[in-house]
Copies of this chain bind each other. A is one copy, B any other.
Amino acid sequence: MQINRHYLDLKDSYLFATIAKKVNAYQSANPQAKLIRLGIGDVTLPLCQEVIQALHGAVDEMAVKETFRGYAPDEQGYPFLKQAIREYYAGHGVKLEENEILVSDGAKSDLGNILDIFSEDNTVLIPDPVYPVYVDTNVMAGRKVLFMDATEENGFLPLPDRSVKADLIYICSPNNPTGAVYTREQLKEWVGYANEQGAIILYDAAYECFIQDEKLPRSIFEIEGARTCAIEFCSFSKMAGFTGTRCGYTTIPNELVRDGQSIQKLWLRRQTTKFNGVAYIVQKAALAVFTAEGQRQIKENLGYYMENARTIARAMEEMGIWFTGGEHSPYIWLKCPNGMKSWDFFDLLLEQANVVGTPGAGFGKNGEGFFRLTAFGDKQSTVEAVERMKKLLK
């Protein structure tokens, strides 16, 4: 009996768990401190009324034999939801077939589990800094990970280096943690590179809903050639506040074939074997996000968060602190003042301003010296947090 020893190669603890421990220790020692949390990317606004009504309606269906739903269809997602997602994509000019959309309990699950269908011998290319889950899920399988440098110089948007050979390429745009967004021209370069190499781009679009400028791509499938080299992961978590309700979807084009196999069919086989679908009531809740009224309500919530983002961004400008994000993203990625290291700045903010952020170093070596703030707090707390920061750092 042996465990999967690759797990021993993982770094000691998940970033947000470490932060939670530090914060809890500080709060215990200083029970009077009124902490403002602009750290973990969790939403704070309640589910919108359209979603709430859909949930109540679906719960009532589950109470009656005639409308009760058991196991969901093997196709991974009820047709009603797939159809609504399809129309949402069509709204920004992307044509998808219903079978290309596979519904799940969230982008995090799919981003981790998709690796199951790829060989462990594949080489993986991951930007640094990045959402830690990309690296950890590959370390768990013992895959070779190459990093591409995202830096102040390239605006945290690295482009392909043709001397590097990779099989799986992670792109997250709008980016977590940096808030930087690729343009269509930049994504075209990535699509060209992936098709040349026979690589697959794992495109994390969990933050597409924050894009304000129609010229910026919301989906990799807006780029010609992407259908033969990309998988897109998306989620209701940020779009509609589903972090505690759990629904996402992954899009795999029919044309995506490697080793003579349909990648979509492999994924379907993985999911029918190791997953049993998303709760009916949750799929009905997700459907409500796409009604006209649902769209109006979620946009109101997204607007609320974007105002917070502007509040933080304006404060950074006033303080003369360099940052990315905050415009098409709920994240503000700032350069720690006075050349401070990330965790030192974390401690300073926690102890002197009682503001909790996320140390950039937790996202990779290029994150050292940077820091992430999120726009998911409430308005008043966000305003107070930046006031405290301005007072501390002036």
Contacts and interface: CB of A to CB of B under 8 A. Distances in A.
Interface of A: 1-5, 7-8, 10, 14, 16-17, 20, 40, 42-47, 49, 52, 55-56, 59-60, 62-65, 68-72, 74, 105-106, 108-109, 112-113, 116-122, 133, 136-137, 140, 167-168, 197-200, 241, 243-246, 258-259, 261, 263, 266, 269-270, 272-282, 378
A118 B47 contact: no
A37 B9 CA distance: 49
Contact of A273 (B1, B47, B56, B133): B133
Contact of A119 (B4, B68, B117): B4
A49 B63 contact: yes
Nearest to A266: B7
5 contacts: A1-B118, A46-B68, A52-B60, A56-B59, A113-B274
Contacts of A63: 46-47, 49, 52
Contacts of A263: 3
Given A3-B119, A3-B259, A117-B7, A244 B112 contact: no
Contacts of A244: 62, 68-72, 277, 279-280
What number of copies of this chain does the assembly contain?
Answer: 2
The 6 closest A-B pairs by CB, nearest first: A112-B274, A2-B119, A42-B70, A70-B243, A46-B68, A69-B244
Contacts of A113: 113, 274
Nearest to A3: B259
Given A47-B68, A52-B59, A62-B46, A3 B275 contact: no
Given A4-B118, A282-B279, A42 B68 contact: no
Contacts of A118: 1-4
Given A1-B198, A5-B119, A272 B62 contact: no
Which of A14, A17, A243, A270 has the most chain B CB atoms closer than 10 A to its own CB? A243
Contact of A243 (B20, B43, B71): B71
B122 A1 contact: yes
Nearest to A5: B119
